[in-house]
Amino acid sequence: MSSTDHHFITAIRSGDTEGLRRIYREFFPRVSGLITQNGGSYEDAKDVFQDALVVLYEKCRQSGFELSSTFSTLLYGVCRNLWGSRLQKKSRTEVTLTDDFKFRDETDLESEIIEEEKDRILWDAFRQIGEDCRRLLELFFEKKSMEEIAAAMGFGSVGYAKKRKFQCKEQLLEKVRGDARYAEYLNN
């Protein structure tokens, strides 16, 4: 556990006012964005964030509690879970959030959140590569043949299309590896 994560956990356990303010400053904007983009209000976001801190307080005080991801991943996941639960109770149907997160009662929510964060790193990196590489990789992800890719991209040969696909994948991997979040999730 990083020293910053340890500081956040200690602030929640002890009710440290300054530490809790820091948690609000650092994490509330992202949670507020999630909730307002998925049918909630700013007031809903504040309620969910407060409830999440209570959940974390109870969780942190349990004997044997050990943080197996980053604090931000855990907090964000609890907020998503709470908001999904509220929406589900309102509608009594499955709720689909804008980023295709479907609320489910999972026994291993942390693993799911970590996988979502890994996906986010990949797609953030994907948006950073050149437009031609994005287009080529999109065709590849759509399971187009190398012949179809070569034709769509205007390449002279399938061999060149293969070479460009390799170069674009390398470019994407380089962007992923360069993301500060990558090392954090590498072992999860």
Residue 188, pLDDT above cutoff 90: no
Residue 37, pLDDT above cutoff 80: yes
Residue 150, pLDDT above cutoff 80: yes
Instruction: Give me the CATH topology for the region 106-188.
Output: Arc Repressor Mutant, subunit A (1.10.10)
More confident residue, 86 or 91: 86
pLDDT at 179: 83
pLDDT at 104: 44
- Residues constituting the chain: 188
Domain with CATH 1.10.10.10 in the chain: 106-188
- DSSP string covering the chain: --HHHHHHHHHHHHT-HHHHHHHHHHHHHHHHHHHHTTT--HHHHHHHHHHHHHHHHHHHTSTT----S-HHHHHHHHHHHHHHHHHHHHHSS--B-TTSPBP---TTHHHHHHHHHHHHHHHHHHHHS-HHHHHHHHHHHTT--HHHHHHHHT-S-HHHHHHHHHHHHHHHHHHHHHSHHHHHHHT-
C-beta neighbour count of 140 within 10 angstroms: 17
**Mean pLDDT, residues 52-57:** 87
Instruction: Give me the CATH topology for the region 1-100.
Output: Rna Polymerase Sigma Factor; Chain: A (1.10.1740)
3-35, pLDDT tens digit by residue? Answer: 788 888 888 888 888 888 998 998 999 888 888
93-115, pLDDT tens digit by residue? Answer: 444 444 444 444 444 555 666 66
Calculate the dihedral angle through the C-alpha atoms of 76, 81, 87, 88, rounding to the nearest 10 degrees.
Answer: 160
Instruction: Give the rounded distance of the alpha carbon of 124 from its chain centre.
Output: 10
**Mean pLDDT, residues 146-154:** 93
Domain with CATH 1.10.1740.10 in the chain: 1-100
